[in-house]
Amino acid sequence: MADFKYELGADGVAVITWDVPEKSMNVMSMEGFALLDSFIDKALADEACKGVVITSGKPDFAGGMDLNVIAEMRKGGAQAIFDGVMQMHHVLRKIERAGMDPKTNKGGKPIATAIPGTALGIGLELPLSTHRIFAADNPKAKIGLPEIMVGIFPGGGGTTRVSRKLGAMAAAPFLLEGKLSDPKKAKAAGLIDEVVEDPLAAAKDWVLNAKDADLVKPWDAKGFKMPGGAPYHPAGFMTFVGASAMVHGKTNGVYPAAKALLSAVYEGALVPFDQAIKIEARWFTHVLMNPSSTSMIRSLFINKGALEKGANRPDVPDQRVKKVGILGAGMMGAGIAYVSANAGIEVVLIDNSQEAADRGKSYSEGILDKGISRKKVTEEKKAEVLGRINATTDYAALEACDLIVEAVFEDPGVKAEVTKKAEAVIPQDAIFATNTSTLPITELAKASARPEQFIGIHFFSPVDKMMLVEIIKGAQTGPVAVAKALDFVRQIRKTPIVVNDARFFYANRCIIPYINEGIRMVAEGVNPTLVEHAATMVGMPLGPLQLVDETSIDLGVKIAKATKAAMGDAYPDGAVDDVLFWMADKGRMGRKSNAGFYEYDEKGKRQGLWSGLDAQYPRADEQPDVHHVQHRLLMAQVLEAVRAFEQGVLEDIREGDVGAILGWGFAPWSGGPFSWLDIIGAGKAVEICEALTAQYGARFEAPALLRDLAAKGETFYGRYGEGQAAQAA
Ligand code: NAD
């Protein structure tokens, strides 16, 4: 079966239907493109054919290019990519020109697109090459060009066509931010032409009545001027200067795609369309050859997708959750209740007092009300979701729950008590999960009568926004519990990673050294502004000092004390604690107390770094180079990730990379800690570690695994890219 079908109707309209076999959503492959090309040739050559409508045999039009194909294309090098992309442009341009005379712009055959639902990426670039786009009035449909989100940009003519259609300024949200719109908004913005009840019928009708002039794109007509002005037009000049500054401000120059996209638009706007397309193809090739785009596509699309589909799920029957019991209706419990009920799962939300349980439920109400005010949620949906949450103090209500998620105080005693109380009521085969962030799962499982059914499901705050969920296996956790946790995470549409039990699991284990390294530098007299900027310039969403302010300094103190008690003599030096404890003594607890490493105004708005730091930790006369600071901040995190993998806490580097980006925002341009090490090379990484170790000590020592890769000239993805565990190697 083929990806496209061709059918010439009695009315003379050829309908080309995109319907990729065995996929719920159409994606474009090179074979698909070749077939489409042959059908266009057929339609243009056939005298009985008056025009063409391209549509979909599925509820949606298309999800985009098959990114696995892009990954494959890259293997052939720059020339292969460029040739492949130009081949695609050739087909799209053939559709656009539709056989018309190049001089008179007459005699072409009308080609329209009928879009039933979502149309993304090449799924919009193909329609953009046709003469008119009809979309169904489907408010759930998403229309746009999201390529920038995975580190590339629209390279199927979308960049050139949308910027010429809308002007650089109006095109910016769609191209630079990957903004997606429903059909009505897409029409209002000028991305598509019509929103109708029956797009196929409307498109056929249009094709049968179109005149020569209806087929000529503005950029192919005489005297075309770019809307809003080309680069050397006074208005255009301002747009491009502003856009360039804005892109740099937003990306800190670490995302090659945004800059390349802007160059393609700018340079393309100076030349005729056919040259502009070539320029787009060159910049697109440039981006695809950049290791950042390879890594981003691999982590944020291919591997994230594989993990969500259960790449590491044990082979046990369906464990989807019907009714979840949530113990503790505080910040985390309330969030977990919302995401569960929103996914259609019945929820029992328990707290010590009815008031606390109700407060937890009202958190969902707040989110739903916000959704209503933004027209994203209906009153019916709100009633439905709230109707699924039973807020109570009565443990007997847990009777029919097949999963429990415990989110009470971070206290082993309290957790043990609720574990026993719940297990006295829940079914024998129910799974019990804890949302602890610091307590070992194996220890907490001791309170359980069924430790093989006891597991960690670690959410991040705020639960409704953070996409990562860390699933932690205790020493005795069995495969059914793992499958249950994975199926639950899939139901609530988040991304799971599965790790083994160890101090701070994976995400917190890596993020704490990042914060600590920043604080150490303050103690050493490094300019705190340099520390913060070095971090954001290398793509971290927050500098370490801002991050500790956000998570609160007393939490840092608490964790430091608990870690010291647990580690005894193995506890590292107290340089970080000195700063943290001093800040806490001063009552500077971070954002929540309106005072931390930063100053805040009365409304809680963050101001500059606190000047009092200088008096306590005077600035060193000589300040380090920004790259040196960045190496310290990145290595603090990635070495911990490598150790976690080496020790078998992390079993799959794909989880390590995806988890790092989704869990704590590790420089997404790099594709994650393991991808970053592969980009710089293990040899270079070891060199950096040696230099840092000589200056700062053992915490920067290169792990044996990294040394081994360096010695053998290997990469993490070369050796472990299919999910192999380090310990098995
Ligand atoms: P919280 O203090 O906001 O909520 C805890 C809730 O548990 C309170 O409402 C409390 O009344 C209730 N509770 C206490 N004892 C109870 C009992 N015996 N029975 C029923 N309810 C009881 O705390 P939180 O921030 O929601 O954290 C809860 C858990 O989640 C902790 O284990 C914490 O480590 C973990 N966690 C927190 C975060 C975070 O960012 N806050 C992130 C991940 C995990």
In this prediction, residue 86 has a pLDDT band, given cuts at 50, 70 and 90, of very high
Q: Which helix or strand (DSSP H or E) is residue 581 part of?
A: helix 575-585
Separation of CA 328 and ligand 1 centre (Å):
6
In angstroms, rounded to a whole number, what is the distance separating the alpha carbons of residues 171 and 191? 9
Instruction: Quick: pLDDT tens for 318-354.
Output: 999 999 999 999 999 999 999 999 999 999 999 999 9
* pTM for the structure as a whole: 0.89
Separation of CA 350 and ligand 1 centre (Å):
11
- 3.30.750.24, 3.40.190.10, 2.60.40.1080, 3.40.50.720: CATH of 323-501: 3.40.50.720
Q: Which residues of the chain form CATH 3.90.226.10?
A: 4-289
| Test site for ligand 1: of 326, 331, 393, most ligand atoms within 8 A of the Cβ | 331
Q: Which amino acid is at 366?
A: G
Separation of CA 406 and ligand 1 centre (Å):
8
183 prior amide bond cis, ω within 30: no
Nearest-atom index, ligand 1, CA of 350: 20
Q: Which helix or strand (DSSP H or E) is residue 235 part of?
A: helix 234-251
Instruction: Quick: pLDDT tens for 169-182.
Output: 899 999 999 999 99
The encoded tokens of residue 473 equal 């296996």
Per-residue pLDDT at 52: 98
Nearest-atom index, ligand 1, CA of 359: 9
Q: Are 660 and 641 in contact (CB under 8 A)?
A: yes
Q: Are 405 and 325 in contact (CB under 8 A)?
A: yes
Residue 508's nearest CA partner among 641, 655, 314, 406 is 641
Of the chain, the percentage scoring pLDDT greater than 70 comes to: 100
CA distances from 667 to 17, 291, 313, 531, 543 (A): 41, 14, 27, 15, 11
Per-residue pLDDT at 250: 81
Nearest-atom index, ligand 1, CA of 329: 9
Q: Which helix or strand (DSSP H or E) is residue 368 part of?
A: helix 354-373
Per-residue pLDDT at 562: 85
Separation of CA 410 and ligand 1 centre (Å):
6
Instruction: Quick: pLDDT tens for 664-696.
Output: 999 999 999 999 999 999 999 999 999 999 999
Q: Which fold has domain 4-289?
A: 2-enoyl-CoA Hydratase; Chain A, domain 1 (3.90.226)
Q: Which residues line ligand 1 (CB under 6 A)?
A: 327-333, 350-352, 356, 407-410, 414, 417-418, 435-437, 458-459, 461
Among positive and negative, which fits the CA dihedral 686, 692, 694, 697? negative
Of the chain, the percentage scoring pLDDT greater than 90 comes to: 88
Ligand 1 atom 14 nearest Cα: 408
The encoded tokens of residue 262 equal 């802007």
For the chain, the average pLDDT equals: 95
What are the residue ranges of helices labelled H in 374-455? 379-387, 412-423, 441-444
Q: Is the pLDDT of residue 728 over 80?
A: no
Q: Is the pLDDT of residue 729 over 70?
A: no
Ligand 1 atom 8 nearest Cα: 330
The encoded tokens of residue 80 equal 């292969």
Separation of CA 329 and ligand 1 centre (Å):
7
Per-residue pLDDT at 69: 80
* E strand intervals along 255-351: 323-327, 346-350
Q: Which residues of the chain form CATH 3.40.50.720?
A: 323-501
Per-residue pLDDT at 642: 98
In this prediction, residue 238 has a pLDDT band, given cuts at 50, 70 and 90, of confident
113 has which bridge partners? 54, 133
Average pLDDT for 64-77:
84
- CATH class, domain 503-729, is mainly alpha
What is the SS3 assignment for 649-708?
CECCHHHHHHHHHHHHCCCHHHCCHHHHHHHHCHHHHHHHHHHHHHHHCHHHCCCHHHHH
Per-residue pLDDT at 251: 83
In angstroms, rounded to a whole number, what is the distance separating the alpha carbons of residues 518 and 636? 10
The encoded tokens of residue 68 equal 């696995």
Ligand 1 atom 12 nearest Cα: 328
Q: Is the pLDDT of residue 74 over 90?
A: no
Q: Which residues of the chain form CATH 1.10.1040.50?
A: 503-729
